[in-house]
Amino acid sequence: MNTAVQTLTPAPVLVPAPPAAPDPWRPSGPCTAQACLAPAARATGPVRLAARLCAALLVVLAGVPVSLVGRVRTAWRARLTRAWARLLLRALGIRLEVTGAPAAPDRGALVVANHVSWLDPLVVAATLPSRPLAKREIGEWPVIRTLARGSGALFIDRERLSALPSAVAAVADALREGDTVVAFPEGTTWCGRGMGRFRPAVFQAAVDTGAAVRPATLRYREGTATSTRACYVGDDSLLASIVRVAGTRDLVVEVTLFDPVPAMRPEGRRSEARAALARIAEARVRTGIDDPVHAAVTRH
């Protein structure tokens, strides 16, 4: 007697759209550690976990004198920061894979990427010479403050919308000096299975200076599947995220660098030019986000 077996396909878990943000520069994402985190496909043992955490701590401490050298010798800053960032990723057990030409342009460029984790600025720094645009709070943390300033980080006060023009002006000044600046225009982190809209404000720096915009997609994975183990979302703590990353085996971060978007000169209002740049860059970055259900539900 033959018995038919019916395979049931579970319905996709839909993440609710985020509530309205209090202002355009402080968007909020729908991702939370409770909803988005999944167990590691392969977890490290306690000995390896402890070894990774100790190695990472040593690399962080070693970065303090290195960052001081970077402040004195600007020409050394990019290469020292890149070597240090690669070493820290390796200490945490993360393998870096880069697609696209990583060479820096002859003149300054604005690199924009999706935002998943506190690791993202390190990942981009390990990929190409650059200066991150970071939130002001980072500049107040001991040790991290020294490392960030040594890397040439630019800071923005997200608590005050009135500080936005000065932050954009600082990015524009860096671009005029020939530096590559890295920004995460979503303004918040997502779990990596979806992404938010690119806010156009930072693109004004590219419009004002004629600098090219280079989109990049960051994807964390275990094996071939997208991993949320590195995400830093919701009320997740930094310590918990660090331990989770170090406790995950075979964690890979893919960086896809797209061709630069040429500088746009505004024919009408400047706001239209920066909005157009934001749309083009966001569309390219989205091609590397491989969960269309999550991306479609969370898009706003």
User: Within a domain: residue 85?
Assistant: no
Which pTM value belongs to this model?
0.83
User: Within a domain: residue 65?
Assistant: no
User: Within a domain: residue 7?
Assistant: no
User: Within a domain: residue 198?
Assistant: yes
- Per residue of the chain (300 residues), give pLDDT as tens: 444 444 444 444 444 444 444 454 466 778 988 889 889 989 999 999 999 999 999 999 988 876 676 555 566 777 888 899 999 999 999 999 999 876 555 678 999 999 999 999 999 999 998 889 887 767 566 677 778 777 788 887 766 767 788 889 999 999 998 889 999 999 889 999 989 999 999 999 999 999 999 999 999 999 889 999 999 998 899 899 999 999 999 999 999 999 999 877 766 677 788 999 999 999 999 998 855 445 444 444
User: Within a domain: residue 218?
Assistant: yes
User: Within a domain: residue 55?
Assistant: no
Where in the sequence is the domain holding 161, given as residue range(s)? 95-237+251-298
Domain count, the chain: 1
User: Within a domain: residue 45?
Assistant: no
DSSP annotation string for the chain: -----PPPPPPPPPPPPPPPPSSTTS---S--HHHH----SSBPPHHHHHHHHHHHHHHHHHHHHHHHHHHH-HHHHHHHHHHHHHHHHHHTTEEEEEES--PPPSS-EEEEE----TTHHHHHHHHS--EEEEEGGGGGSTTHHHHHHHTT-EEE-TT-GGGHHHHHHHHHHHHHTT--EEE-TTSS---SSS--PPPSTTHHHHHHHT-EEEEEEEEEEETTEE--TT---TT--HHHHHHHHHTBTTEEEEEEEPPPBPP---SS-HHHHHHHHHHHHHHHHHTT---HHHHHHH--
User: Within a domain: residue 41?
Assistant: no
